[in-house]
Amino acid sequence: MTTASVSGSRERELWRRLGEVNDPELDEPITEMGFVERAEVAGDGGVEVDFRLPTYWCSPNFAFLMLDGVRKVLDRLSWSPVYRVTLHDHMFAEEVNSGMEAGKSFGDIFGELAGDLDLGTLRETFAMKAFKRRQEAVLLSLRQCGLPDQEILGMDLVAYDRARFRMEETAKQKARYRAALLERFPARRASDPVFLTWEGQKIPVSALGAHLAELRGVRINMEFNGALCRGLKHTRYKELDVVDGEPTLVDFIMDRVPVEPAPNI
C-alpha cells in the first residue's frame, strides 16, 4: 500500500471514530455539530485534533465528557498513534487540556470546583434521553409504515432487524436505537421485545400514546438545545468583526430577528 493510500485510509478511520462520539446532551455526533475544527494524521502517524465549543462558558463537565470520548476512540485507532487533543477558546481550556494530557479524571482536574458532581449519574441521564429519542424515531416510522401498534410492540430483535425504512435518517436511528437497547439491556435474547421503557418494562398497547407523548417531550427539548447550540456556534465563529469581545446570546437572537425595510418617505 502506498504512503498516500495509507494516509487516506487513516484519515477516514480517524473521522469515522470521531463520529462515534456524541454531544452528551444532544445525542448528535460531535463531527456533525462542528465541534471538531481540525483532525489530521501527520506523516509519522501522530494525530492532532482541535476542538471548539459554541461558547466560552460551555459547561466544563460537558466538555470533559466529549473530550474523554474523543480520547477513548483515539485509543482504538488501528495504528495506535501518539495523539494530542486541544480544547480552544474555553474558560477552562488550560486546565482541561493539561489534565486530559495527564490522563486525569474530572475530579482530579477541577478539584473542589467539581463539587459533588457524579459523572456516572450524568452519563446515565444523557444515555436515558438518547435511548428515548432514538426509540421515538423508530416507533413513529413503524407506525407510518402502516404496522399496527400491537405488532410493533411485539417485535423481537429478529423482526426488528428485518424492518426496512426508506428514509436514511430513520435507518440511522434504527441502528442507533438497537445499540442503545443492547447497551442498556446487554443480556437480552433475540426473542425478547425490542420496545421497552428505560426501566425495562413492556409498553402496553393502551399506553403507547402516553408513552409517545413523553418521548416527544424529550425530543423537543433536545432539538431546541441543539438548534440553540448550532446557532451560538455559528454566531461565535462566523467571519465578522466582533466589538468588545465575543458574541453573546443577545447577539445570536438579534442576528436572527428579521429587519423590516424602511418606509419610503
* Domain chopping of the chain, boundaries: 3-117, 120-222
- Using alpha carbons, select from 32, 31, 50 the residue that is nearest to residue 40: 50
Say if residue 264's pLDDT is above 60: no
Per-residue pLDDT reduced to its tens digit, 73-123: 999 999 999 999 999 999 999 999 999 889 888 888 887 666 666 788 889
Q: How far is CA 87 from the centre of its chain?
A: 17
Burial of 213 (0-12, 13-18, 19+ CB in 10 A): exposed
Lookup: cell for 21: 462520539
Res 200: pLDDT = 96
CA distance 255 to 66: 28
In the CATH scheme, what is the homologous superfamily, with its name and number, of domain 3-117?
Fe-S cluster assembly (FSCA) (3.30.300.130)
| pTM exceeds 0.75 | yes
Rounded to an integer, the average pLDDT of 228-234 is 81
How far are the Cα atoms of 52, 80, 253, 256 from residue 232, in angstroms, in the given order?
Answer: 12, 35, 9, 11
